[in-house]
Structure 1
Amino acid sequence: MNDYSTTRDRVEHYFDRTATHTWERLTSSAPVSRIRQTVREGRDMMRDTMLWRLPRDLTGLRVLDAGCGAGQTTAALAARGAEVTAVDISPQLVEIARRRLPPEHADRVRFHAGDMLADELGSFDYVVAMDSLIYYTDEDIARALDRLGARTRHSVVFTVAPRTPFLMVFWWMGKLFPRSDRSPVMIPHPFKPLNEVTGRRLVKIGRVSRGFYISECLEFRP
């Protein structure tokens, strides 16, 4: 998985060394620009869409928050009774998530800084991966889902960037900049090829389009 590892390292560098403060502010209630406000609202809508796919009562169920970021999904899962493993490639974001977690949920959450695909994280009833696979190719996503699915009892609920004209413009613009001088660029995916490479085990759940935030929720059934 050399391509996956290379992209993962770029994502870690970006979120842990370049964008930590921006991401911390975006995921808080602090005032942000109009553009970032649409991203904040879009992410809130997508989080609700993803959580809708899981049982309302998660008591006793193990859930992996793969790419937990600042921990909003982690807190929502724990509030519904889940035993949560929250992992992110960025140690700084993991610390933000740890600080923000309401104390009453602390005994149900285990934080981990590292690769969301690591086998040592254990097995789960569900996996939630919000915007943590958006930088990867079809093949890397398929391999990641296979690894997660092998340790998941029910399903992996995740997001990708859908292939829309709007996102394709930004994708081509991103290719104009040197890789060392820009953030990791999301890769837009049409559903059919991604479904094929994952063995036709994907289900469309819903798309959120809010200003500059566009994301597609899919479900992978092992």
Structure 2
Amino acid sequence: MAGAQTYESTRARVEQYFDRTATRTWERLTSDAPVSGIRATVRAGRDRMRDLMLAQLPQDLTGARILDAGCGTGALAVALAARGADVVAIDISPALIDIARRRQPEGLPGRIEFRAGDMLTPELGHFDHAMAMDSMIYYGAADIAGCLGRLAPRLAESFVFTLAPRTPLLMAMWRVGQVFPRADRSPTMVPHSVKGIARAMRRAEVQGNLRQIERVNSGFYISSALEFRP
């Protein structure tokens, strides 16, 4: 895969951040516990994005096998299983997977298999759909194209995922982060345009259709939902 070394090093940074630095913060953000005004806008934005992503799939997912790539604390996986899906929910952070398992409700029509590991592991098998909410936002265009290329042979229908849009504000924040790195800061989001990802796909000879679904703006949460069909 093009950019494999970059993918591996970025994945390691993200794993360290979520599994060691931000576990408690992420656990609180994804719960019903009160949060600050800034984090409240992020929570609201993520709720809107989750609903938007779910709207791209059929309401009845009975019998469908779905990959939740970067499942975090499991909210999207639970929503998919509530529609009857057989969900493989994977995250690189074992700490977040532990939280997701504790939060899993009983009596869902579908089932969830929570796993700690890499979302691109071939042993996960084939899927009807895949979803990745805010789990690919730290990677460069070549790595994202590589991810699409590796998932495509194992995907029957669609891959719905999010990226940070290439807006003036996010580009300014990205440049500041590049100039003033700090060890305890979260991994830097990389802003992208759909055209840029499409160019990277052509360079990597990844076949498929890519489209932007919609952008969600909620205070400090700015994210675009995209759909890839092989």
Shorter-chain-normalised TM-score: which range?
over 0.9
Q: Which amino acid aligns with 1:157?
A: V
Read off the aligned partner of 1:205 and give its amino acid letter.
I
The correspondence for 1:76, drawn from 60, 64, 79, is 79
Is structure 2 residue 209 aligned with structure 1 residue 201? yes
SS at match of 1:162: coil
Structure 2 counterpart of 1:145? 148
Counterpart for residue 59 of structure 1: 62
TM-superposed CA distance for 1:18, in Å, is 0.1
Matched to 2:214, the amino acid is G
SS of equivalent residue, structure 1 residue 150? helix
Q: State the match for 1:188 in structure 2.
A: 191
| Preserved CA contact (<8 Å) 2:42 2:220 | yes
Query: Which residue does 2:132 correspond to in 1?
Result: 129
Shifted more, 198-207 versus 35-44: the winner is: 198-207
| Map of 2:205 onto structure 1 | none
Q: 1:154 aligned to 144, 153, 157, which one?
A: 157
**1:107 CA displacement:** 6.6
1:23 has 2:26 as partner: yes
The CA RMSD measured in Å over matched residues stands at 1.3
Q: Distance in 2 between matches of 1:149 and 1:206?
A: 22
One-letter identity of the residue aligned with 2:183 = S
Cα displacement string for residues 96-115 of structure 1 (whole angstroms, at most 9, x for unaligned residues): 11111111139711111010
* CA distance in structure 1 between the partners assigned to 2:200 and 2:132 by the alignment: 19
- Whole-angstrom distance in 2 between the partners of 1:180 and 1:30: 28
Give the deviation of 1:191 after TM superposition.
1.7
Aligned residue type for 1:204: Q
- TM-score computed with the length of structure 2 as normaliser: 0.93
Which of 167, 171, 183 does residue 170 from structure 2 map onto? 167
Identical pairs, percent? 61
Structure 1 unmatched runs, 5+: none
Q: Determine the C-alpha separation between the residues in 1 that align with 2:148 and 2:25.
A: 29
How big is the shift at 1:178?
Answer: 3.3
Counterpart of 1:117 in 2: which secondary structure? coil
Aligned mate of 1:219, from 220, 227, 230? 227
The one-character-per-residue Cα deviations of 1:180-206 (angstroms, maximum 9, x if unpaired) are: 342200000022111222246211111
Quick one: structure 1 residues 169 and 112, their matched pair in 2 at CA, closer, same or farther if it must change by over 3 Å? same
User: Aligned-pair distance for 1:172?
Assistant: 1.5
| Structure 2: distance between partners of 1:106 and 1:184 | 36
Distance 1:47 1:107, change over 3 A: closer
Shift of 1:179: 5.4
Write the distance in 2 (CA, Å) between the matches of 1:175 and 1:35. 23
Q: How much does 1:94 deviate?
A: 0.6
Instruction: Provide Cα deviations, 1:131-187, integer angstroms capped at 9, x if missing partner.
Output: 110000000000001111211100100000000111112112211333534220000
User: Contact 2:94/2:116 (CA < 8 Å) preserved in 1?
Assistant: yes
Identify which of 38, 42, 45 aligns with 2:45.
42
TM-score (norm 1): 0.97
